[in-house]
Structure 1
Amino acid sequence: MDDYLEQILNLIEEKGYARPVDISKKLGISQASVTNMIRRLDTEGLVKHEKYRGTILTEKGRTIANAIITRHDTLTEFLRLFEIDEDTIYADVEGMEHHISKATLGVITTLVEELKSNSEVLTRLKSKL
């Protein structure tokens, strides 16, 4: 569900709308699977879908999608601090973002902020890897 909300928001920001065919292409899954999930998201009050017009996020859906993107960006930024290659970062973040707790994300967010403002500590940590 997170991946769908994230892609819907990305498509809306990129194109102004999100159609099942576009979501399907972005996620690499069938259009039928997307249509089923959109129905579920609509039932849960996270999106509004109009046949032949596209899908938009409700306020609740947008809030969740923004939190998902923030989580993804924070984890990506954290791993980039240690100069991990982008393919590894992508694969790791895709796995981690679905399982990380709010508490752990808070710790990582604090670490990112501190490490960005204290290059000596970051350099020392990177030298130990």
Structure 2
Amino acid sequence: MAEQPTPPPRTTSAVEDYLERISELIKTKGYARVVDIAAELKISQASVTTMVQRLDGEGLVKYEKYRGMVLTSAGEEVAARIAHRHELLTNFLTLLGLGKTVVDHDVEGMEHHVSVETFDALEKLNRYLETHPEVLAAIKK
């Protein structure tokens, strides 16, 4: 019997925001520390430490006090999924001609609250609109 793939861990929007920030910090700075995450999310270092310890306990990050953290493979998988959703929504709303401020605001609100099925449909629609500029032009009228 073939082994079923394990589904990605269920996450909350708060967990996703943390993983997204940790991933972005690692990509831009090469590391992520509690102080950096607190500054990015505009919250206290104590709150960040509590969440990072939780993420460590859930196997999404490997955290060492005073040293920082790295994403585990499970954490990287979730962060990649979040980044893909963020990029898809950003591209889709930008295609529709919405301004950067509106897009950034709306994507932050939408990315955690849209089902997998809706994302799949949006991805297909996004690809269609990118390859059919005449349809996109008609929508923008």
TM-score range, shorter chain: over 0.9
CA distance in 2, matches of 1:112, 1:24: 34
Structure 1 stretches of at least 4 aligned residues deviating more than 6 Å after TM superposition: none
Residue 75 of structure 1 deviates from its aligned partner by 0.4
1:68 match: 82
User: Any gaps of 5 or more consecutive residues in structure 2?
Assistant: 1-14
1:93 maps to a residue whose letter is V
CA distance in 2, matches of 1:32, 1:74: 33
The equivalent position to 2:65 in structure 1, one of 30, 39, 51, is: 51
2:20 match: 6
Confirm or deny that 1:99 pairs with 2:113: yes
* Aligned pairs (5 A) from 1:11-50: 11-50=25-64
CA distance in 1, matches of 2:39, 2:123: 31
CA distance in 2, matches of 1:87, 1:124: 23
* Secondary structure of 2:70's aligned partner: strand
Give CA deviations for 1:13-36 in whole Å, capped at 9, x if unaligned. 111110000011111111111100
CA distance in 2, matches of 1:13, 1:91: 23
* Secondary structure of 1:106's aligned partner: helix
CA distance in 1, matches of 2:26, 2:43: 19
- What percent of counterpart residues are identical? 51
The Cα RMSD (Å) is 0.6
CA distance in 2, matches of 1:31, 1:58: 22
Greater helix share, structure number: 1
Residue 81 of structure 1 deviates from its aligned partner by 0.4
TM-score, length of structure 1 as denominator length: 0.96
User: Any gaps of 5 or more consecutive residues in structure 1?
Assistant: none
CA distance in 1, matches of 2:87, 2:54: 26
1:89 match: 103
